[in-house]
Amino acid sequence: MQRCVEANFDGLVGPTHHYAGLSFGNEASTRHRRQDANPRLAARQGLAKMKALSDAGFVQGVLPPHERPHLPYLRRLGFSGSDAQILAQVARDHRQLLSALSSASAMWVANAATVSPSADSADGKVHFTAANLHNKFHRAIEADTTSAILRAVFRDARYFCHHPALPQSALFGDEGAANHNRLGRYDAPGLQMFVYGKRGLDEGREPMRYPARQTLEASEAVARLHLLAPERCLMVQQNPAVIDQGVFHNDVIAVSNEQVLFYHQQAFTDGGAVRGQLSRGLALLGQEFIGLEVPERRVSVADAVGTYLFNSQLLSRGDGKMTIVVPQECREHPGVWDYLGEVVAEGLAIDRVDVVDLRESMRNGGGPACLRLRVVLTPREQLAVNPRTLMTPALFDSLNLWVDRHYRDRLNQDDLADPALLNEVRTALDELTQLLDLGAIYPFQQ
């Protein structure tokens, strides 16, 4: 029997994956700046996670990388000549700019868009708002291609409604699903909790050291666009003190699934109020809230950032319990691993831990949850998804072969000026659009 499910769409790591230290406030990004990356291994690690979840019976999709280096953008910034001349000039005079326009950051699709299930929207459609990712230039250039990709995967206008990114302005800084949790059963109206870092218009608390990437005004706009009932929306502030400790998105300190919120004691400015609002809100919907709060004395904020314990995936199995998918950094940390063991032994909601190796992505601050975009779908909506983007054993094999054919196993900033790399990327992406039946989604295909 078909049922409502949460499908996870993972971003496939692009061929230009490298470490450039582009994300101030994301400490892993800063720490690994200029180290060698292995794009082939990175893509294979991501595919292995998708395959493992698909084999375990979860609905798993794949979203393609973006075109990088982004030559149209370089031309827009006044560089001219052949592609090779432009790359040589930018590499010589503007090294960080070339990195920004070559970053494979679109892999972290938790930042691609905010998604609301049809059960919550007044028009009964699934709503998507592409994130403007205003705070970082290398990410702000993702929105247009993200929109084209989402439209190519969720095509059917009877079920899916797509909104362009909010205006590119600090006032509306929006980082997508990484700052959004939808709580409640998949097949009934639920609560949507938007987590913002600061207010854009009014005075209020904000971090001092690192930027707050999400504003309240952006979250409110997304809630309006998605036609959500205001009484079932919560606008919650992330604790500015944890942003200053490297928690650049809410999904680095909290994760939800159905009625469960697994979160750190210091995640919010007022954790007690959040808990109360979620309990009362779900009670009104006839559902019980399960809040799993992790105390600072068991797992410090620093250890949460170091291991990405909360950047995990909570997945509902058919038997009523949940699996938590964590990065292997959690297993390597005795305190965090012991704590996870206790959570599972208690078995309140989560009774199984799966460990994944995503080292390449982790070194840029992207764990299991960063790499996935969650989309709750009814059986009809599932049938309307572009079927070629859904993971199967055959697609897994084709994508691995495709990666082996086109990806390098070593890449750093110095390689980005190589015109051969640009050709490799375009050849690879052109093939990929056919493999996934996406049509012409990239600027170089127009």
Q: Which residues are catalytic?
A: 175, 249, 370
Structure tokens at 156: 């059917």
* Residue 339 C-beta: closest distance to ligand SUG, Å: 21
Q: Which residue has the tokens 């993702």?
A: 142
* Residue 365 C-beta: closest distance to ligand SUG, Å: 4
58 is in an annotated binding site: no
* Residue 446 C-beta: closest distance to ligand SUG, Å: 26
Cα(244)–Cα(241) distance, integer angstroms: 5
**Checking phi first, is residue 262 left (phi over 0); if not, alpha (psi -120 to 50) or beta?**
beta
* Residue 26 C-beta: closest distance to ligand SUG, Å: 4
Cα(420)–Cα(423) distance, integer angstroms: 5
Structure tokens at 379: 């059986």
111 is in an annotated binding site: yes
Q: How many residues does the chain have?
A: 446
**Strand partners of residue 49:** none
Of 190 and 366, nearer to ligand SUG (C-beta) is 366
Cα(424)–Cα(444) distance, integer angstroms: 13
23 is in an annotated binding site: yes
Cα(166)–Cα(130) distance, integer angstroms: 8
**Strand partners of residue 264:** 294
* Residue 428 C-beta: closest distance to ligand SUG, Å: 20
29 is in an annotated binding site: yes
381 is in an annotated binding site: no
Contact status, residue 329 vs residue 306, Cβ threshold 8 Å: yes
Structure tokens at 86: 């432009």
Of 37 and 282, nearer to ligand SUG (C-beta) is 37
* Residue 444 C-beta: closest distance to ligand SUG, Å: 22
Of 22 and 441, nearer to ligand SUG (C-beta) is 22
Report CA-CA distances (Å) from 23 to 28, 35, 68, 363, 364: 9, 15, 18, 12, 9
Of 103 and 118, nearer to ligand SUG (C-beta) is 103
Of 177 and 403, nearer to ligand SUG (C-beta) is 177
Q: At what angle do helices 39-55 and 393-406 cross, to 10 degrees?
A: 180
Of 109 and 422, nearer to ligand SUG (C-beta) is 109
Cα(172)–Cα(134) distance, integer angstroms: 8
Closest CA to 141 of 99, 85, 196, 198: 99
Contact status, residue 219 vs residue 213, Cβ threshold 8 Å: no
Closest CA to 47 of 392, 440, 423: 392
Residues at the interface with ligand SUG (CB under 6 A): 19-23, 26, 29, 103, 105, 108, 110-111, 136, 139, 178, 248-249, 251-252, 364-366, 370
Residue list, annotated binding site for substrate: 20-29, 111, 138-139, 213, 251, 364
Residue list, annotated binding site: 20-29, 111, 138-139, 213, 251, 364
